[in-house]
Structure 1
Amino acid sequence: MLRENYATWHCGAHEISLARPRIMGILNVTPDSFSDGGENLDHDAAVARGLAMLDEGADIIDVGGESTRPGHTPVSSEEEAARVVPVVRALVEAGAVVSIDTRHADVARMCVRLGASIVNDVTGFTDPEMVQVAADTDCGCVVMHWNREGLGTHVARRQVLLDESRPAGSALPRPAASQHRFTLPDQAPVMRQVMGFLGDQARTLMRAGVSRERICMDPGAGFDKFADEDVVIQRATRSMVSMGYPLLCAVSRKRFVGALSGVTDAAARDAATAGVCISAIENGARILRVHNVAEVAQAVNAYWAVAHKDARQGFVSLGSNVGNRVANLARAAQLIDEIPLTCVVSVSHAYETEPAYGIATPVANAVAEIRTELHPLVLMGKLLEVEDQLGRIRPKGEKDDAPRPGAKKPGSGPRTIDCDLVWVEGETHAGARLTLPHPRLGERDYVIVPMEDLMHDPERFLAHAGIAVTPRDERVGHVTADLGEVAWE
């Protein structure tokens, strides 16, 4: 294992590695959310959007059925459930890590029973019933700060100073000679309130039996806070991280982001959102809740690759059943070694294997061990380019040699090369484009046997990674012969 940062957020059946930033995609199933209301109110449209966000780089999908924008109209728990339950159910079935954004305990409990892994409570678990939901389940808990009376420190302070400097009968304020002006309010009183609340609620959860590893903090950007206060809070990110809980940055398209960037239209604030997110990451935040997953993922992946040394171990399964098959495997390994921020460490022998998943002829297979600093989805795109360079032809509808979530059907056509990313250290992902670990890794003899050339005990290694390995006689694609070394160097 190469990772130096082993921080994790425990969320139900998932342990989310925080060794790199994670993206939580916002899926509002509402008619009145401030920037995307009505776009995903139809259940099918909402599910499709959630699945698309997974392929764009989302690690978590946060499903909400009630708008919390200023002036919103509260909805009943029954109405909220009708909006979100079908969407949560479908996304969980697709393998997604789902968060339910709700203040209703009955909706939270229902969605967790359906498989949602996280409860994102905008009221910060101030409702004892919501605390009980957390105690009765193993979900991750997002504690958000929302002082409905408002912090108001900056405006109140300025108003006092103006009042004190205004002579009787004066129509306009006159600054006092000794008045000191500051662009932002004092950080101390703002952060005492925000961090005090978050700490108190975390302790409330822990007293109820919720483990510390399940709790995440959200300072609640935009929730009855002035823009100046939001900036003060963002600048105190490092202090909030020092509390010892994962920190969520939920600034997407908020009013203060518009104030900083000069952009009035909320939906046009994605670039500015990415800028604030990168600042938060640099100061220790590791979960980013955003609307535009693709744009923020692109910015964050580029920033992280340049700013942080973060090499991960990975394995790529290689297969060929056309032409000089072993030579195809060798050339694929050479091209993978040329991918930026990626290198091939070693390649197993090539093995003759029985046809599997509808393939008509025997296949030459090998496994390459790699190190990479690319995001898995970026790396997957590069592996597809390797396939293209070697003349891989994909019949319409073919996505892979075995079905994955979202794939239309198993492929059975000949291929000069198949580059299958099967495992990356610390990474789990669901989506039609990439699923990690590969959902059929443990049943593939043509992967397990070549891995024996790369490590002492691949079955134990995979079991430690949570991957069940099928007994050899029950596997598919059995190895029938050793074809020798793959001369890739």
Structure 2
Amino acid sequence: MPTPQNNNPQPSPSRIWQCGRYHLDVSRPQVMGILNITPDSFSDGGRFIEPQAALDRAYEMIEAGADIIDIGGESTRPNAQTLSVCEELCRLMPIVQALIDCGKPISIDTYKPYVMRMMLSEGVDIINDVRGFNSPVAIDAVADSNCGLCIMHMQGTPQTMQDNPTYDDVTRDVACFLKQQLTRLLDAGIAPARLCVDPGIGFGKTLAHNITLLQTLEHIQTCTQATVLVGLSRKRMIGDLTGKATDERVSGSVAAALYAVTQGAQVVRVHDVAQTVDALNVWRALSA
């Protein structure tokens, strides 16, 4: 009987994502734990709006094996209401100041240049921009730092993104946008090692678009030559595929994150850190 072939991608040679105080070896998949300090996020809105609840959740994720804590002060779910800079900073500042020395990179999920500057002045390590630094002011806000940058693709805005999203070729169109933004950031003098790309699952995409993007992550990585992050935890696509409500999508989310890693994702952004870490540990042991 012929020996079964192992079709799982082998771990890549050591690759570093430079993130402020940290240099993350993304040849091992990194788990980014989501900390939404908002009243209206689609999955856990309101649960961690109180500072102590947010801090308890952050340390719970760290204990469970999170490599990065990603803090969001404004929801980017479909039809979410926008916040003023002041409101966003009022939510973020006490949590960031309390967590900055937690021993893990702190990422801030924001698209506002002034918020970026203020968070960088507090020492955060990553800026995660759902608008992909699609503004000279945003690029200027981060250019002189040494933080990691996550460039995400979104068609439209949170208020319009699910209004009949269309593409000529979703993989090509997303890859072209990400490559264009990478070039703009590189032209601003930003080191390639600081850059990460995110195809933006669920941000201006149908279920078919999301599936295609996950199946073609390797093309996006090849095209951009950057660290690839995927965030699909508990999203509508998981509900569409499983028929489950948001709070019942843990298993589907873990399966999707694991599949994304097999297709080349190097960072997965998740709500369910412990379950994702366990799945990745088992997969890595069996794939060795």
Task: Answer whether TM exceeds 0.5 for this pair.
Answer: yes
Code of the aligned partner of 1:91: L
| 1:339-383 Cα shifts (integer Å, max 9, x gaps) | xxxxxxxxxxxxxxxxxxxxxxxxxxxxxxxxxxxxxxxxxxxxx
Query: Residue in 2 aligned with 1:7?
Result: 15
Q: Does 1:189 align with 2:169?
A: yes
Q: Find the aligned partners of 2:89 and 2:247 in 1 and give their Cα distance.
A: 26
**Match runs of 1:306-345 below 5 Å:** 306-307=286-287, 309=288
Match of 2:56 in 1: 48
- What is the alpha-carbon distance in structure 2 between the residues aligned to residue 275 and residue 91 of structure 1? 30
Match of 1:249 in 2: 230
CA contact (8 A) 1:31 1:38 kept: yes
Q: What does residue 252 of structure 2 align with? A: 272
User: In the TM superposition, what is the alpha-carbon distance from 1:94 to its structure 2 partner?
Assistant: 2.1
Amino acid at match of 2:147: C
The letter for the 2-side match of 1:116 is: V
1:287 matched to 2:262? The reply is: no
Matched residue, 2:85: 77
Q: Find the aligned partners of 2:117 and 2:52 in 1 and give their Cα distance.
A: 23
2:64 pairs with 1:61:
no
- Amino acid paired to 1:112: L
Which structure has the bigger radius of gyration?
1
SS for the counterpart of 1:15 is: strand
Distance 1:262 1:241 in 2: 31
Bigger helix share = 2
CA contact (8 A) 1:5 1:18 kept: no
> Cα distance, 1:96 vs. partner?
2.2
Give me the whole-angstrom Cα distance separating, in 1, the residues matched to 2:265 and 2:43: 24
Amino acid at match of 2:227: P
Which residue is 1:17 aligned to? Answer: 25
Q: 1:24 is matched by which residue type in structure 2?
A: M
Partner of residue 129, structure 2: 121
Shift of 1:4: 7.1
Once the two structures are superposed, the pairs formed by residues 189-208 of structure 1 within 5 Å of their partners are 189-208=169-188
Partner SS, residue 247 of structure 1: strand
Q: Aligned equivalents of 1:244 and 1:142: distance in 2?
A: 13
**1:144 aligned to 2:152?**
yes
Amino acid at match of 2:135: D
Of all paired residues, the percent bearing the same amino acid is 38
Matched, 1:28 2:8: no
Give runs of aligned pairs for residues 348-387 of structure 1, distance below 5 A: none
User: What is the CA distance between 1:224 and its match in structure 2?
Assistant: 1.8
Cα distance in 1 for residues equivalent to 2:124 and 2:19: 9
The residue that corresponds to 1:99 in the other structure is 107
Which of 276, 279, 282 matches 1:296? Answer: 276
Q: Deviations over 1:226-281 (max 9, x none)?
A: 11111111111111121210100100111111111221x11211111111111111
Q: CA RMSD in A?
A: 1.5
Deviation at 1:95, TM superposition (A): 2.2
Aligned length: 272
In 1, are the aligned partners of 2:39 and 2:47 still within 8 Å (CA)?
yes
* Shift, 1:219, TM fit: 0.5
212, 217, 220: which is aligned to 1:240? 220
1:152 CA drift (Å): 3.1
Moved more, 297-306 or 57-66: 297-306
Tell me, in whole angstroms, the C-alpha distance in 1 between the residues paired with 2:43 and 2:12: 38
Q: Is 1:112 matched up with 2:120?
A: yes
2: CA distance between counterparts of 1:99 and 1:227? Answer: 27
1:258 corresponds to which letter in structure 2?
G
Separation of aligned partners in 2, 1:237 and 1:262:
25
Query: Which residue of structure 2 lines up, in the alignment, with residue 158 of structure 1?
Result: none
Between the aligned partners of 2:104 and 2:67, the Cα distance in structure 1 is: 8
What residue identity is the alignment partner of 1:89?
Answer: Q
Q: Is 2:209 the counterpart of 1:229?
A: yes
Structure 2 unaligned segments of length 5 or more: list them.
1-10
Q: Does 2:96 align with 1:88?
A: yes
State the Cα distance separating 1:208 from its structure 2 match.
0.6
Matched, 1:220 2:200: yes
- The match for 1:411 is none
Inter-partner Cα distance in structure 2 for 1:279 and 1:100: 26
Q: Deviations over 1:83-105 (max 9, x none)?
A: 01111111112222100000111
TM-score by length of 2: 0.91
Choose between structure 1 and 2 for higher RCO, CA contacts under 8 A separated by at least 6 residues: 2
Cα distance in 2 for residues equivalent to 1:273 and 1:240: 21
Give deviations 1:118-142, integer Å, cap 9, x for gaps. Answer: 0000110012111012212111000
Whether the aligned pair in 2 keeps the contact of 1:134 and 1:205 (CA below 8 Å) is no
**Alpha-carbon distance in structure 2 between the residues aligned to 1:106 and 1:123:** 15
Amino acid at match of 2:165: G
1:38 aligns with 2:75: no
Contact kept in structure 1, 2:155 and 2:165, CA below 8 Å: no
Take 2:239 and 2:227, find their aligned partners in 1: how far apart are those partners? Answer: 26
Judge conservation of contact 1:47–1:87 (CA < 8 Å) in 2: yes
CA-to-partner distance for each residue in 1:142-195, whole Å, 9 max, x for gaps? 0000011657348xxxxxxxxxxxxxxxxxxxxxxxxxxxxxxxxx71112101
1:392-403 matched pairs, under 5 angstroms: none
- Return the letter of the residue paired with 1:303: W
Using the TM superposition, give the Cα deviation of residue 48 of structure 1 relative to its aligned residue in structure 2, in angstroms.
1.4
